[in-house]
Amino acid sequence: MSFSTLIKSEITKVNNNKSGNIAELSAFIGNNSKIDNNILKITTENASVARRIFKLIKDLYGITCIITVRKANFKKHNIYILSIKEKYDFILKDLSIIDNYDNYLLIPKDYIISDEEEKRAYLRGTFLSTGSVNDPKTARYHLEFFLNSKEQAVFLDNLLNEYNLNSKIFRRNKGYMVYIKEAEKISDFLRLINAYQAVLYFEDIRIYRDHKNMTNRLNNCEQANIDKSILSADKQINDIIKLKEMLGLEVLDDKLKEACEYRLKYPEASLIELSEIISIETNKKITKSGLYHRLKKIMKIAAKIEKNKK
């Protein structure tokens, strides 16, 4: 069962007041129905959603839908079709899907989402009809709604961004996608539509992924520092060998000569490790910075010799 299916199954159990039920039903039927041979047909691939819509229509309008179950072509899941033969024009007008002249409304009238609960219910109905969200365990963070018209997409985008969800609109071949990419905003949306079990699951996975990513970043930084130390050590050793072959280390003062000898003796040691080794073995304290300046001076001498050679 997909993550989207689990979320939809969870939010079908949310209790609304009457105006909230109307808002949720308006969003669902407005995005997922058609009139065929004077019959209003509402379709869904989720059994829990079908039961939810069936109950809302019966509770609000006293009408019992006829439910037909069909097998989807080339797919394993079923399609549930809820059919309404009577009073469907009254229902569509009450839900602000058509006006008094039977013209379809792309966006509902203000009374459908006049308060906070109605707005959240409308978003819940929109997710039930056209929404999906990736499982954070198996894919990148992504929540989307697919809508038929630009007007519907803009309306939904504005409604989502009343809650600072940073949604955006993308033109598709057969419609418009309104989507959210940020993990925190997706979690906020799930909380907004009362999908609390989904929020807990989503946040657990998000924390795990963030921790794993942080660990990987730290490991990458550590490896990068090791690689950088190895490259620096190789360069220092090459310069020391070059200096030794051209002039001999005897020309250097005692401190530089000591730095050369220890670098050759411990070729894989980092600067901080090498400074600690020298301090212990010679009983003379030298810091990482002090050792760095000695080796840098040796590198300058080697570079000058190479330049004069050319």
For the chain, which residues make up each domain, given as ranges? Answer: 3-194, 220-309
| Mean per-residue pLDDT of the chain | 87
What is the structure's pLDDT at 114?
92
Encode pLDDT of 178-234 as tens digits. Answer: 999 998 999 999 999 999 999 999 888 888 777 666 766 666 676 666 667 777 778
What is the structure's pLDDT at 53?
95
The domain made up of 3-194 has a fold known as Endonuclease I-creI (3.10.28)
% of the chain exceeding 90 in pLDDT: 47
Encode pLDDT of 68-101 as tens digits. Answer: 988 766 667 788 999 999 889 999 999 999 988 8
Report whether pLDDT(2) > 70.
Answer: yes
Q: How far apart are CA 301 and CA 219, in angstroms?
A: 36
Place of tokens 């018209």: 149
Q: Which of 47, 54, 56, 63 is nearest to 17 (CA)?
A: 56
CA quadruple 95, 96, 97, 98: dihedral sign: positive
Q: How far apart are CA 212 and CA 205, in angstroms?
A: 10
Q: How far apart are CA 47 and CA 153, in angstroms?
A: 26
Contact 52, 20 (CB under 8 A): no
Alpha-carbon distances, residue 21 vs 16, 108, 150 (angstroms): 6, 14, 25
Structure tokens at 44: 């869904």
What is the structure's pLDDT at 218?
64
**Is-above-0.85 flag for pTM?**
no
Q: How far apart are CA 310 and CA 308, in angstroms?
A: 5
Q: How confident is the model at residue 116 (pLDDT cuts 50, 70, 90)?
A: very high
Q: How far apart are CA 125 and CA 119, in angstroms?
A: 10
Higher pLDDT pick, 179 / 275: 179
